[in-house]
Amino acid sequence: MPSCFYHKMFYFCMQILNYDGMKKLLFVVIMVCSLGTLQGQNSLSLAAGYLYIHTSVAEYQRPDYNYYLLDYVSLDPNRSSFHASLNADLDLGNHFFLSTGLHYQEMGISNISFVDTLNDFYSYKANQHYLGWSLLFKYHHSFRNSKFGIFAGVGPKVDFAIGYLNIAEQAPFRARDSMTPFARFNTVDFSIAVEAGTTYRLGPGSLFAKVNYFQGLSDVLRDDYVVGKTISIGLDIGYTLPLEQIRLSGKNKSKCT
């Protein structure tokens, strides 16, 4: 693989870590995961799946304007995204857990279209990558004499924008003032996360499937006169491995060497 690929990946990672919020986020997650290794009932899980996002957009009238941009701009506020998460579940006792983790997803508007006074048509996609952190209070229940179980959780989630300007922000000058208010995303987004799913014991850990619901609390668009809030729902499939199994695996390898 060419060395320029590694240089680009290194630059991308450094760009993410340049956010002060991201540094604090990673520190908190590492500390919580470190505390989790002190107890035997804790686990790590990796999941990936599909996420459907709807962005509800509203516009206030601008000073000295006798019209709204939405009178001339058409939006497709629905889009889909790949969703991935890495979580640590910390046992609180009596089937209750504190779950903290990192999430990756995209937000945006599938299509922003505009026709200017010269009858020129413009159409762009608004897309923003986000890396976030969640802290959920969860309940797990395993059925007696069965490999199946269920779980549910709720808690806050915060996402940080990463990456470069999206395509819609690079629209030609004549269309930029009308289109970019719907394409510039805030660097931080707060939401409430709700999840519910089922587990199946398989091997040293458990296979699981869960439904995610994220209710946006903050305005995701940066324009002073445009407000955008998101609602997301999706399905993830993943695998959970008890931390005790990870420690035992590490001990066995050290004995072999």
Number of domains in the chain: 1
At 215, list the tokens.
């209710």
The residue ranking higher by pLDDT, 176 or 187, is 187
**8 Å CB contact between 65 and 225:** no
Computed over every residue of the chain, the mean pLDDT equals 81
Tens digits of per-residue pLDDT, 137-157?
999 999 988 999 999 999 999
Q: For 52-56, 154-158, 219-223, 231-235, which range has the lowest pLDDT when averaged over its residues? A: 219-223
> DSSP assignment of the chain, as one string?
--HHHHHHHHHHHHHHHTSHHHHHHHHHHHHHHHHHTTSTT-EEEEEEEEEEEEEEEEEPPPTT-SS-GGGTEEEE-EEEEEEEEEEEEEEEETTEEEEEEEEEEEEEEEEEEEE-TT--EEEEEEEEEEEEEEEEEEEEEE-TTSSEEEEEEEEEEEEEEESS--GGGG--HHHHHHHGGGT-B-SEEEEEEEEEEEEEEETTEEEEEEEEEEEE-S--B--TTEEEEEEEEEEEEEEEEEHHHHHHHHHHHHHH-
Using only the alpha carbons of the chain, give its radius of gyration: 22
**8 Å CB contact between 22 and 28:** no
Q: Which residue has 């993410």 as its token pair?
A: 16
Residue range(s) defining the domain that contains residue 164 = 3-256
Q: pLDDT value at position 253?
A: 52
From 243, 242, 240, select the one nearest 210 (Cα to Cα).
Answer: 240
Residue 94: pLDDT over 80: yes
Q: For 128-142, 149-163, 171-185, 195-209, which range has the lowest pLDDT when averaged over its residues? A: 171-185
Residue 16: pLDDT over 60: no
**8 Å CB contact between 163 and 129:** yes
Q: For 38-47, 71-80, 103-112, which range has the lowest pLDDT when averaged over its residues? A: 38-47
The CATH number of whichever domain residue 245 belongs to comes to 2.40.160.20
Q: What is the 3-state secondary structure (H, E, C) of 33-64?
A: HHHHCCCCCCEEEEEEEEEEEEEEEEECCCCC
30, burial (CB in 10 Å: exposed 0-12, middle 13-18, buried 19+) = exposed
Residue 68: pLDDT over 70: yes
Q: How far apart are CA 103 and CA 191, in angstroms?
A: 13
pLDDT band at 219 (very low <50, low <70, confident <90, very high): very high
Q: pLDDT value at position 120?
A: 81
Ramachandran angles phi, psi of 62, nearest 5°: -85, 150
Q: How confident is the model over 165-178, as a mean pLDDT?
A: 70
pLDDT band at 115 (very low <50, low <70, confident <90, very high): confident
At 59, list the tokens.
């516009």
Q: How far apart are CA 219 and CA 226, in angstroms?
A: 9
Q: How far apart are CA 196 and CA 141, in angstroms?
A: 12
Residue 10: pLDDT over 50: no
